[in-house]
Amino acid sequence: MPRTVRDVVFVDGVRTPFGKAGPKGIYHETRADDLVVKAIRELLRRNPGLDPAKIDEVAIAATTQIGDQGLTLGRTAGILAGLPQSVPGYSIDRMCAGALTAVTSTAGSIAFGAYDIVVAGGVEHMGRHPMGEGVDPNPRFVSEKLVDESALFMGMTAENLHDRFPHLTKRRADEYAVRSQEKAAKAYADGKIQQDLVPVSVRRTSPEAGETGWGLATQDEPMRPGTTLETLAGLKTPFRTHGRVTAGNAAGLNDGATASLIAAEDFARAHDLPVRMRLVSYAFAGVEPEVMGYGPIPATEKALAQAGLSISDIGLFEINEAFAVQVLAFLDHYGIADDDSRVNQYGGAIAYGHPLASSGVRLMTQLARQFEEQPEVRYGLTTMCVGFGMGATVVWENPHFDGGTK
């Protein structure tokens, strides 16, 4: 019997504040799975009309699936969050695009009719589990020259992207990074970010005093308001002598979690759930692993073609800022100015942080807020580069669109 494809919508999204990885970070004493649990519980609190037993799946992404990020995290986090044991779950990995892939994978199942509503998100505790911990790359990658050795080091791939596009200079990257910090600070000042953050109780240890106490994480730790071009100019280039990639024009090493509710539109409306974005299309693409930051371009080409749209139809962009040069390459390809007002209006990962597998849902949550504020915009997209040479793009439609021209 032929099936009717159902419209899929973004109902809600939340996240923990993002922290700095390492002993001085806010989540040094906090488990990764507990971060996911906080996000899932917040989704349920914010949507009290949703019967948890109706949730059909919990898909949670993590890049390093060991320790407290292992053991089929979607299933275990669901149980820990108090969901009925009848609700299944699983883990997913597409490195930086983990949470984004959790959304698209479950969205496909919703469109097919297998699910009505799901929880999709991601977590990365890079303080407990550094990127690449426990992995064993096959020596054939390098010995048979399948990829350049630099493909295994994300910072080096960003330097390679600078090499490929020398007009994307360090100064342009630094200028972009300053704007990201400024926009993030303004978004906080205007109350655009806090409404989607779930406070997290954190244990803090003071080595000097030998004491352990408790605190509350309520805002993103990595932000550096007041960053200037002068301060960025003096930073070290750790991936290459006299390079262009620094800690100032790249996202840091971070901890944090995200979660979203994705549903069939008919289900959402029947259960009085908000419809904040409508899924239009999504695509993934591969590129040379040594220039993985180029990945969003072919992924966006595919997603736009599927939707019958062009880049000029996109009124808002949420581009993950793994590295400033990666965003600049995307904008340069499409002839979009470095400071175009449609791009990352609240700032991006250079300011907030990029806990790998969790970041895709942060992009979606911020885009959903912008859709609400700008009903004249019909289409927006979320896009990100992915380790080992991939890109991921999702095109969204604004359900609040009032017939404007964008």
Question: DSSP characters for 300-343?
Answer: HHHHHHHHT--GGGEEEEEE--SBHHHHHHHHHHTT--TT-TTB
> Residue 355: its pLDDT value, please?
98
Residue 250 DSSP symbol: B
> Residue 405: its pLDDT value, please?
56
Q: Dig out the tokens for 107 from the structure.
A: 């969205």
> Residue 202: its pLDDT value, please?
95
Q: Which of 177, 154, 275 is nearest to 224 (CA)?
A: 177
Residue in the block written with tokens 């990020």: 69
Per-residue pLDDT tens digits for 184-227: 999 999 999 999 999 999 987 665 555 578 899 999 999 999 99
Set 125, 129, 162, 385: catalytic member: 385
Say if residues 20 and 252 touch (Cβ distance below 8 Å). Answer: yes
Set 28, 125, 354, 400: catalytic member: 354
List the chain residues with pLDDT less than 70: 1-2, 205-211, 404-406
Q: How far is CA 53 from the centre of its chain?
A: 27
> Residue 67: its pLDDT value, please?
95
The residue type found at 195 is: Q
| DSSP per position, 127-147 | TTS-TTTT----THHHHTTSS
| Non-local CB neighbours of 220 within 8 Å, separated by 6+ positions | 17, 18, 19, 184, 193, 351, 352, 353
Say if residues 346 and 185 touch (Cβ distance below 8 Å). Answer: no
> Residue 4: its pLDDT value, please?
82
> Residue 255: its pLDDT value, please?
98
The residue type found at 68 is: D
| 385 has catalytic annotation | yes
| 28 has catalytic annotation | no
| DSSP per position, 7-39 | PEEEEEEEEPPPEESSTTSTTTTS-HHHHHHHH
Phi then psi for 149, rounded to 5 degrees? -60, -30
**Domains of the chain with CATH codes:** 8-130+169-394 (3.40.47.10)
3-state secondary structure of 280: strand
Burial class (CB in 10 A: 0-12, 13-18, 19+), 90: middle
Say if residues 229 and 27 touch (Cβ distance below 8 Å). Answer: no
| Run of H or E including 365 | helix 359-373
- CB count within 10 Å of CB 147 equals 17
> Residue 3: its pLDDT value, please?
72
Say if residues 279 and 375 touch (Cβ distance below 8 Å). Answer: no
| 96 has catalytic annotation | yes
Per-residue pLDDT tens digits for 272-296: 999 999 999 999 999 999 999 999 9
| Non-local CB neighbours of 369 within 8 Å, separated by 6+ positions | 192, 195, 196, 346
> Residue 204: its pLDDT value, please?
76
Distance CA 214, CA 249 (A): 32
Q: Is the dihedral of CA 103, 220, 127, 353 positive or negative?
A: positive
Set 28, 96, 125, 129: catalytic member: 96
Q: Which of 355, 361, 350, 367 is nearest to 392 (CA)?
A: 361
